[in-house]
Copies of this chain bind each other. A is one copy, B any other.
């Protein structure tokens, strides 16, 4: 049972006037006191009767009279109470007669006031008590009492505060709130709609303040930031939230290296003291290099196992499928080396790896043992000539008991496969006790020189923006816009931490003509929806660029949380439900009437189809 409790000595008057509904326990203090020295931390007891938090009392407080507020964690024989608050636990003794105190200190009660009784809780507030996430979300107000949630949310607040100090106080950024009731943007298929009182007219909840922050630059507010609430309706997606938060930044007269220095300084300044210092500048890698070496645009650079192109080793091979691979257009042979894989991984692990490659990429992958005891069992290794074997060992720095995973195919496809396998193997190795990714290490990386456009999935002859249509082309590639736009690189940059994208931004187009050409001619968008932005660029828009950091993801990595839901006070389930309040909920038709909308109830067959595509309600 948990009761919020106040142990009071100094506030007789107060405790008497509230006392009508409370129990009181009397006693006196037993020891003499020395006041502890002032610390620099915030004053947690201002404005209230409390003198100390439960967790801070030490032998230096001996004899001091204190007022504590907290929840009863344990009660033993009505003599001992353990009182808990966000700061820790402390033992309280309700004096019966003279006793031998245990522990460094304890508190002898003079007055105790029961502030609120408590029913049997659905789960106890103890870290070792395991509970399902659904139960935790249903009783979020209890889950928040856990040490881990208290730590996560308090650290988040502190880190964001340090970021604000850095941006506002040190570098003159202006915190500006931008609207969340906006209008649909071109291609904004994932925007929630909000009905207005005008028939047929809707606001939308924007996916980011992108347009507004660019307009602020036109407006001469040349250093903007905002801890911005953003919205994206992605239906049911694990580890995504319909509303999320980004540290949103934009600057005028800046180039890519300026934004990068800013962000490096920001993270270094705001990084928690109990973690390793952030070393700046962060390394940088082109998109092409990231793909070739790690098979992804968000490499986890905490460990090696890089992808190596071994095509040249096999130019003159006699092995049939390798020969075949190299004769195909853009055919390559690539491999990664699993350190001590021959020792750590089991036969079933290799079976899993081969199956994974077939299932997800429709592609073959071969484990090859080139050094150590098992190479005689490797069917391919037998056919590799000694000269090639030595060249591979040299090229891939293969050690005793290492194993390589080899695949053939088109460059991008082969890299993507090996990139995924690299992460799967890291999981397998760590499950077998080989630690590759030190949780105390934070490995930042800039990925740059992305393509400006990608071929559209529905029709590869058409182009779409790789990021968004406001991204400026790379200065060296501008001439290609009019001849080979698919080859143009952009001034977009991503910030990657331990294999997760935690931010992205770009230098923007500030020339109205160029912006119009890209929107209308290359992307074939309806420019009318963006006429205000094009007009603004024509009114003396300065060169500008910016970035947005995904705060939820960043905090998840900093705290080592299992999910972004663990760094958000009241998250939605992966189906977008608030399991505590049961949002979203039905609304009576009369409440929709002022908004001139009505529900189109799906027919039975549609409903059946839709439920097939969705997990059941129980799993939400």
> Pick the contact of A539 from B2, B195, B580 — CB < 8 Å?
B2
With both chains docked as a complex, state the minimum distance between the C-beta of A510 and any C-beta of chain B, in angstroms. Answer: 6
- Contacting pair A168 B172 (CB below 8 A): no
> Pick the contact of A144 from B177, B221, B578 — CB < 8 Å?
B221
14 A–B pairs (Cβ distance < 8 Å), ordered by A: A43-B172, A46-B170, A48-B251, A48-B255, A115-B543, A116-B511, A156-B175, A157-B175, A182-B578, A183-B581, A196-B576, A216-B569, A597-B597, A598-B600
Cβ proximity bits A128-170 to B, threshold 8 Å, 1 near / 0 not: 0000000000011111110001100110111011001100111
Taking CB as reference atom, which chain B residue is nearest A592? B193
A200 CB-CB contact with B under 8 Å: yes
Q: For chain A residues 1-60, which have a beta carbon within 8 Å of chain B?
A: 2-4, 6, 14, 17-18, 21, 41-44, 46-50
Cβ proximity bits A258-284 to B, threshold 8 Å, 1 near / 0 not: 110110000000000000000000000
Which stretch, A201-209, A337-345, A378-386, A448-456, touches the partner chain B? A201-209
- With A and B bound together, what is the CA distance between A390 and B49 in angstroms? 52
- With A and B bound together, what is the CA distance between A593 and B157 in angstroms? 39
A412 CB-CB contact with B under 8 Å: no
With a cutoff of 8 Å between Cβ atoms, the chain B residues found around residue A601 in the complex are 199-200, 596
- From known contacts A42-B172, A171-B42, infer whether A183 and B596 are also in contact, taking CB-CB under 8 Å: no
With both chains docked as a complex, state the minimum distance between the C-beta of A591 and any C-beta of chain B, in angstroms. Answer: 7
With a cutoff of 8 Å between Cβ atoms, the chain B residues found around residue A202 in the complex are 584-587
- Contacting pair B168 A540 (CB below 8 A): no
- Contacting pair A119 B253 (CB below 8 A): no
Taking CB as reference atom, which chain B residue is nearest A510? B116
- Contacting pair B47 A258 (CB below 8 A): yes
With both chains docked as a complex, state the minimum distance between the C-beta of A103 and any C-beta of chain B, in angstroms. Answer: 23
A583 CB-CB contact with B under 8 Å: yes
Taking CB as reference atom, which chain B residue is nearest A138? B532
Copies in the complex: 2
Taking CB as reference atom, which chain B residue is nearest A47? B258
- Contacting pair A259 B47 (CB below 8 A): yes
With both chains docked as a complex, state the minimum distance between the C-beta of A609 and any C-beta of chain B, in angstroms. Answer: 12
- Contacting pair B144 A233 (CB below 8 A): no
A408 CB-CB contact with B under 8 Å: no
Cβ proximity bits A555-583 to B, threshold 8 Å, 1 near / 0 not: 00000000000001110100010101111
Q: For chain A residues 180-237, which have a beta carbon within 8 Å of chain B?
A: 180-184, 189, 192-205, 211-212, 215-216, 218-223, 229, 231, 233, 235
A83 CB-CB contact with B under 8 Å: no
A254 CB-CB contact with B under 8 Å: yes
Taking CB as reference atom, which chain B residue is nearest A602? B199
- Contacting pair A599 B596 (CB below 8 A): yes
> Pick the contact of A220 from B6, B71, B541 — CB < 8 Å?
B71
With a cutoff of 8 Å between Cβ atoms, the chain B residues found around residue A204 in the complex are 583, 587
